[in-house]
A and B are shown apart, each in its own frame.
Chain A
Amino acid sequence: MDIARVDQIIDRYGADESYLIQVLLDIQTENNWLPQEALERVAERLRVPLSRILHIATFYKAFSTVPKGRHRIHVCMGTACHVRGAQRVLDAVQEATGIKPGETDLELKFSLETVNCLGCCALGPVMEIDGKTYGKMTPAETAEALRNHD
């Protein structure tokens, strides 16, 4: 990520240390992950120790300190989805992408995570791709939804 772009994000919040998490979230949203140089820049400009930034960046699941794919897949493994066949959806995703939960493929196309309820159990089994909800999924529909992303 371009350091000038990191600076723009920092300036958006007046380089105020109390906006640390917001700054990190913006970098995460734009870049999909938090590269070391970006974190060092944030530490320097917000005058927050890098060790504290690393603590925060590794504490919240919303942040990633390793590269993430362009598309984020969340497969719900909550109770309701589980009984409605979440495992088959997960298997279909793993089959189509070749990655397991927590992983990212080498082309940085997909990152896969499991979650424990997306709050719309009536639609189970549910998955999300880039925040868009796909309900009542079958393995075939899952593979189809993934094919529509590049």
Chain B
Amino acid sequence: MSEVRLQIDGQEVTAPEGATVLEAAQGAGIPIPTLCHHEKLEPFGSCRLCTVEVERGGRKQHVVSCVYPVAEGLTVRTRTPEIERIRRVILELYLAHAPEAPRLKALAEEYGANKDRFDKESSFCIHCGLCVRYCAEVKKKHAVGFINRGTKKEVAFVPDIAARECWKCKECFPLCPTSWLQAAYVLVEGILFPREEQRA
């Protein structure tokens, strides 16, 4: 595979063709914040936190670095005032859903996001899809998925599969940026398939 040369924050970087801007930056030790990205999973691009500015042929554009492929001669800026603002607003929106999530609070600190900017609507899940994709792509069990759409979209366990598979895995729990997944699982377990010792 041929190498592509690009510039990230003023630094000359090479990356294999087909790599994403995020991968190129990580390879060069340049940090870009992410919430929905995971090395073992296909790029998803849902959280938008990894937004960066790219410039090619004099045209500037904001793109999502975890899905945007590198290209020869690309200039990337990972921290401009506009990008900081974009990330701050994204975090403020997420904090309306999960105001106490440690990962979000740490990022909010870094970007000066105000967790009280928007009215609280504690749905906790920020739809990053890590749990759903990890279960499908890595474990190939499909025990958890999304249901409904728009403002009603939520993660849901498929009870039969979850009862059979989840107790011995739970590898998705630590992936969840808001810890909602764990709560959702315990609820489903409590309501739909209480364990033997609890039933007795």
B144: chain A residues within 8 A (beta carbon): 51
Check if B149 sits within 8 Å of A54, measured CB to CB. Answer: no
B69 sits at the interface (CB 8 A): no
B184 sits at the interface (CB 8 A): no
Bound Cα distance A23, B161 (Å) = 23
A147 sits at the interface (CB 8 A): no
List of 8 A-B pairs having minimum Cβ-Cβ separation, nearest first: A51-B145, A49-B142, A58-B147, A51-B142, A59-B149, A58-B148, A55-B146, A55-B145
Smallest Cβ-Cβ distance to A60: which chain B residue? B149
B interface majority secondary structure:
mixed
Per a CB cutoff under 8 Å, which of B136, B148, B149 touches A51?
B136
Smallest Cβ-Cβ distance to B162: which chain A residue? A51
Per a CB cutoff under 8 Å, which of A50, A52, A55, A59 touches B161?
A50
B158 sits at the interface (CB 8 A): yes
B168 CB to closest chain A CB, in angstroms? 18
Smallest Cβ-Cβ distance to A40: which chain B residue? B160
Bound Cα distance A22, B91 (Å) = 39
B83: chain A residues within 8 A (beta carbon): none
**Interfacial residues of chain B within 135-172, with CB under 8 A of chain A in the complex:** 136, 142-149, 156, 158, 161
Smallest Cβ-Cβ distance to B143: which chain A residue? A51
A interface majority secondary structure:
helix
Extra 12 A-B pairs, beta carbons < 8 Å, given A51-B132, A54-B147, A58-B148: A49-B145, A51-B136, A51-B142, A51-B161, A52-B145, A54-B145, A54-B156, A54-B158, A55-B145, A55-B146, A58-B147, A59-B148
**Interfacial residues of chain A within 47-70, with CB under 8 A of chain B in the complex:** 49-52, 54-55, 58-59
Chain B interface residue count: which class?
Answer: 10 to 19
Interface size, chain A (Cβ < 8 Å): 8
Smallest Cβ-Cβ distance to A48: which chain B residue? B142
Bound Cα distance A59, B144 (Å) = 16
A59: chain B residues within 8 A (beta carbon): 148-149
A-B contact pairs, 7 of them (CB 8 A): A49-B142, A49-B145, A51-B132, A51-B142, A52-B142, A54-B156, A58-B148
Smallest Cβ-Cβ distance to A52: which chain B residue? B145
Bound Cα distance A55, B157 (Å) = 11
Smallest Cβ-Cβ distance to B144: which chain A residue? A51
Check if A49 sits within 8 Å of B156, measured CB to CB. Answer: no
The contact string, 1 if C-beta is below 8 Å from chain A, for chain B 164-185, is 0000000000000000000000
A24 CB to closest chain B CB, in angstroms? 14
Check if A58 sits within 8 Å of B149, measured CB to CB. Answer: yes
Bound Cα distance A59, B158 (Å) = 16
The contact string, 1 if C-beta is below 8 Å from chain B, for chain A 17-58, is 000000000000000000000000000000001111011001
A54: chain B residues within 8 A (beta carbon): 145, 147, 156, 158
Smallest Cβ-Cβ distance to B140: which chain A residue? A49
Smallest Cβ-Cβ distance to A53: which chain B residue? B145
Bound Cα distance A55, B153 (Å) = 9
Check if B136 sits within 8 Å of A55, measured CB to CB. Answer: no
Check if B142 sits within 8 Å of A50, measured CB to CB. Answer: yes
